Amino acid sequence: MTRERSRVGFYVRKSVKAGPFRFNLSKSGVGVSVGAPGFRVGTGPRGNYVHMGRGGVYYRASLGAPARGATGGVRAGVTPAPTWTPYDPGAVILDDVTGATIMDMQPTGGGGIVEQLNAAARHTRLAWWVTAIAVVAGAATLPFGLIIWVLAIPLCWWLFLRDAASTKAVVFYDVNDDAAQWFDDLVTNWGWLTNATKLWRTVASGQVHTLHQHKRNAGASNIITRVDATATAQGPKHLATNVAVPTIVAGKTSLHFLPDRVLIREGKSYTDVAYSHLRVHARKQRFIESPGATPKDAVQVDHTWQYVNKKGGPDRRFSSNPVLPIMLYSNLELTSAHGLNWRIQASQQDAAVVVGGVLERLAR
């Protein structure tokens, strides 16, 4: 792929490959060339062109109509059987804080990109199945199976190309003026998160209400459950685009920051939130860590004990009462009225604050 440096710091590729197709960006728009003879353009992915600048945001689909794919609706749930647990006066009830599911969040970014991503993610790959069937059928009917293998080679080759193209949504961005500077700041400062030793996403949270809970939980005012997260500059595998895509991945979910929207992925489903709907809150916060090694880039500001008395000192009634470090971390909260709720914690005390400040400007 050829690369051309934009007027600001992030790179903008002039061509993007999706299967046998190569999409090329020029002053007149998006063109496509096919690297496989006999492969019709009409069966390939849609090329999308988004122009962002002082005059606003303009979206254009270059090839074909947007793929159909439902992104709304309500996910059917199964109520788990009730389980009995012993009463523990020191236990804190935790509530899920991951926000609405993908199925419950309507996309707000516009342009049909979400529908195309969902179609690409749900595309059924036929090439491997057909290849396996041809190999087995040919082996079972030798020597006539040689004919099956010869006939299957071009079919399987075509199916592999088709699968490679159909599992990508192509989006070209032509970003300039203030919009380019905003996105450049995000890409440039994203290194604060990618270089942090540890990132977490908070998935459950509970408030400490009683004195007994306070004393049994190291004097904390709130208890959370976290999962490991990572920050990269790689977009989702179903998206082919010409710009860097700041990304946060936590398990089977991820956030992807494009110039005009935030993509949210949950498994093989996508939705989005326009920056105008995004609410950003970033701050530094003291956090009581578990015993053991702490992140190398984190700052310890104090310590406490697993069991504390009313005054905050160690509870002498417990012979095993480990010392717990109190660290200074940074938190980034991303929410929207449509149900987005991501809480990211970074071990580097300034990481989430710096990135949050850039996102606040993007949201405005």
Q: What is the 3-state secondary structure (H, E, C) of 170-216?
A: EEEEEECHHHHHHHHHHHHHCHHHHCCCCEEEEEEEEECCCHHHHHH
Q: Which residues contact 239 (CB under 8 A, 6 or more apart)?
A: 117, 168, 169, 171, 245, 256, 263
d(CA 125, CA 55): 41
d(CA 152, CA 161): 14
Q: Domain containing 275: what range?
A: 3-70+95-123+167-363
Residue 197 has pLDDT above 80, yes or no: yes
Residue 352 has pLDDT above 90, yes or no: yes
Q: What is the mean pLDDT of residues 321-325?
A: 92
Residue 34's pLDDT is what? 59
Please state, in angstroms and as integers, the Cα–Cα distance from residue 18 to each residue in 46, 64, 233, 239, 252, following that order: 10, 15, 19, 9, 23
Looking at the domain assignment, is residue 135 inside a domain?
A: no
Count Cβ atoms below 10 Å from residue 61 Cβ, excluding itself.
Answer: 17
Looking at the domain assignment, is residue 102 inside a domain?
A: yes
Residue 78's pLDDT is what? 39
Looking at the domain assignment, is residue 138 inside a domain?
A: no
Please state, in angstroms and as integers, the Cα–Cα distance from residue 46 to each residue in 77, 181, 224, 350, following that order: 34, 28, 42, 40
* Cα of 106 vs its chain's centroid, Å: 17
Residue 36 has pLDDT above 70, yes or no: no
Domain count, the chain: 1
Please state, in angstroms and as integers, the Cα–Cα distance from residue 230 to each residue in 109, 195, 252, 253, following that order: 24, 10, 12, 11
Looking at the domain assignment, is residue 214 inside a domain?
A: yes
The tokens describing 186, both together, are: 């995000």
What band does 179 get if pLDDT is binned at 50, 70 and 90?
confident
Looking at the domain assignment, is residue 108 inside a domain?
A: yes
Higher-confidence residue of 329 and 165: namely 329
Residue 59's pLDDT is what? 61
Residue 67's pLDDT is what? 38
Looking at the domain assignment, is residue 129 inside a domain?
A: no
Q: Which residues contact 241 (CB under 8 A, 6 or more apart)?
A: 16, 170, 171, 172, 173, 235, 258
Give backbone dihedrals phi and psi of 171, rounded to 5 degrees, phi first. -135, 120
Looking at the domain assignment, is residue 90 inside a domain?
A: no
Residue 286's pLDDT is what? 94
Residue 64's pLDDT is what? 40
Residue 2's pLDDT is what? 38
Residue 113 has pLDDT above 60, yes or no: yes
Looking at the domain assignment, is residue 212 inside a domain?
A: yes
Residue 177's pLDDT is what? 76
3-state secondary structure at position 43 = helix
Query: What tens digit of pLDDT does each residue of 277-304 get?
Result: 999 999 999 999 988 889 999 999 999 9
The tokens describing 278, both together, are: 């995004």
Amino acid at the residue 284: K
What band does 215 get if pLDDT is binned at 50, 70 and 90?
confident
Residue 11's pLDDT is what? 54
